[in-house]
């Protein structure tokens, strides 16, 4: 039995893996202790669970468990990285290099920091969303303290040349932060090999719970000097005060363990379904084109433009599939995606673009249905 609407918005969020839920449940009830309670069994039990989760997260990204700082999500991790480092380095060093295709959780932090005296360089990516490491290197100045470039784009899936950017950041003694929210769990990420100093990730993008994320902070670099943005009980070695949310952390840990185990299988499976969906739509629907890099791209996402169609009507008409326009929806109007505009699409074409993102629970019949459904809807709109 097929359930409608069919969920094709895994880049927005994923359903919780049942094994994750099962791991979390005892920590809401039986094992309710506060890991900061050092003097009794309740606290020890909670601390033990946190230690295991830290190891599970660290293993997935090849970090050391003590470099894992739990936050409320990638938004907080990005805020902590950029604001925390700016506070440490300014006023001597105040320059950040980033991209206009970043998530708002980077761009809006940069706008905030600009008001406090930061200088921000937004490098222009090419039409596939890629930035060349050479362009990044050229933008480095004596007052640059940070390069912040996302691992993989949430709307178009383009994967940046992270290892090369990491190497040149190291060569120039500049810190390198990557928002890897969409990459971790979908492609292999190695903070050591790729010379990443700080990395943001989020639980709900890898079949874990919402409201929990991580900032990886390289203990061997200057990243460790970032200034905490939350003052209080000096939890997590002072990086982020606040009682640890044990059930969510346990869930995130379990999600990372599963992701590590299943990564290759899920990547292959989603890529196969994504390719079928993409080719089916391109073949059957005239005026369609793909946005983003064709090869260097997340395996699960396809962003497709439907030329000549009204984007708002298109999205409204897709009642039986849950997809996204990749645009910020406000009550009054749909703003064209800043990512698509940054890679050169007109407002009209950006608005007439749809992000399809599949996941490990997407089935073959979901894809077969969607190809025919999209064709039918587009034809009806063209009448």
Ligand X SMILES: Cc1ncc(COP(=O)(O)O)c(C=O)c1O
Q: How far is the CB of 105 from ligand X (least distance, A)?
A: 4
329 counts as catalytic? yes
Instruction: Determine the residue with CB nearest ligand X.
Output: 73
Q: How far is the CB of 202 from ligand X (least distance, A)?
A: 3
Q: How far is the CB of 179 from ligand X (least distance, A)?
A: 5
CB 182 within 8 A of CB 159: no
Q: Encoding tokens for residue 9?
A: 């918005």
Q: Encoding tokens for residue 98?
A: 């980033």
Residues linked to residue 68 through DSSP beta bridges, in sequence order: 216
- From start to end of the chain, where are the E strands? 6-7, 68-71, 95-98, 119-122, 144-148, 175-179, 198-202, 213-217, 288-291, 301-306, 321-322, 353-357
Nearer to ligand X, 12 or 25 (CB): 12
Residues linked to residue 383 through DSSP beta bridges, in sequence order: none
Q: In what order do the strands lie in the sheet with 198-202?
A: 68-71, 213-217, 198-202, 175-179, 144-148, 95-98, 119-122
Question: End-to-end CA distance of the chain, in Å?
Answer: 31
CA distance 99 to 107: 8
CB 161 within 8 A of CB 134: no
Phi-psi region of 369 (alpha: psi -120 to 50; beta: other; left: phi over 0): alpha
SS (H, E, C) 65-131: HHHEEEECCHHHHHHHHHHHHHHHHCCCCCEEEECCCCCHHHHHHHHHHHHCCCEEEECCCCCCCCC
Nearer to ligand X, 158 or 182 (CB): 182
Selecting among 14, 110, 256, 329, the annotated active-site residue is 329
Q: How far is the CB of 12 from ligand X (least distance, A)?
A: 7
User: CA angle, corner 200, sides to 11 and 102, nearest 5?
Assistant: 60
What is the binding site for ligand X (CB under 6 A)?
73-75, 103, 105, 150, 154, 179, 181-182, 202, 213
Active-site amino acid positions: 329
């Amino acid at each position: 039995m097929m359930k409608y609407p069919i969920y094709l918005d895994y880049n927005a969020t994923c359903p919780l893996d049942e094994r994750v839920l099962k791991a979390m449940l005892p920590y809401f009830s039986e094992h309710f202790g506060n890991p900061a309670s050092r003097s009794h069994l309740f606290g020890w039990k909670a601390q033990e669970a946190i230690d295991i989760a830290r190891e599970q997260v660290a293993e997935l990204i090849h970090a050391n468990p003590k470099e894992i700082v739990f936050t409320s999500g990638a938004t907080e991790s990005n805020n902590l990285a950029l604001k925390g480092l700016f506070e440490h380095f300014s006023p001597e060093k105040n320059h950040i290099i980033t991209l206009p295709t970043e998530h708002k959780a980077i761009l809006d932090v940069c706008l905030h920091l600009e008001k406090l005296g930061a200088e921000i360089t937004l490098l222009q990516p090419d039409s596939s969303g890629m930035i060349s490491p050479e362009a990044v290197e050229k933008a480095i100045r004596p007052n640059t303290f940070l390069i912040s470039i996302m691992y993989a784009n949430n709307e178009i899936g383009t994967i940046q040349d992270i290892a090369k950017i990491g190497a040149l950041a190291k060569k120039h003694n500049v810190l390198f932060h990557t928002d890897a929210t969409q990459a971790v769990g979908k492609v292999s990420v190695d903070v050591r090999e790729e010379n990443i100093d700080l990395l943001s990730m989020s639980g709900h993008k890898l079949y874990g719970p919402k409201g929990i994320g991580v900032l990886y902070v390289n203990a061997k670099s200057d990243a460790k000097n970032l200034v905490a943005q939350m003052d209080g009980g000096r939890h997590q070695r002072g990086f982020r005060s606040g009682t640890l949310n044990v059930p969510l952390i346990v869930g995130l840990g379990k999600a990372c363990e599963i992701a590590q185990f299943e990564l290759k299988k899920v990547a292959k499976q989603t890529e196969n379904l994504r390719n079928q969906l993409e080719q089916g739509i391109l073949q059957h629907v005239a005026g369609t084109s793909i946005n983003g890099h064709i090869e260097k791209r997340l395996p699960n996402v396809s962003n497709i433009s439907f030329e000549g169609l009204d984007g708002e009507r298109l999205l409204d008409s897709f009642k039986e599939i849950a997809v996204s326009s990749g645009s910020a929806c406000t009550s009054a109007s749909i703003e064209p995606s800043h990512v698509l505009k940054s890679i050169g699409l007109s407002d009209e074409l950006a608005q007439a673009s749809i992000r399809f993102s599949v996941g490990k629970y997407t089935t073959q019949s979901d894809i077969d249905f969607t190809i025919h459904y999209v064709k039918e809807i587009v034809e009806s709109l063209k009448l």
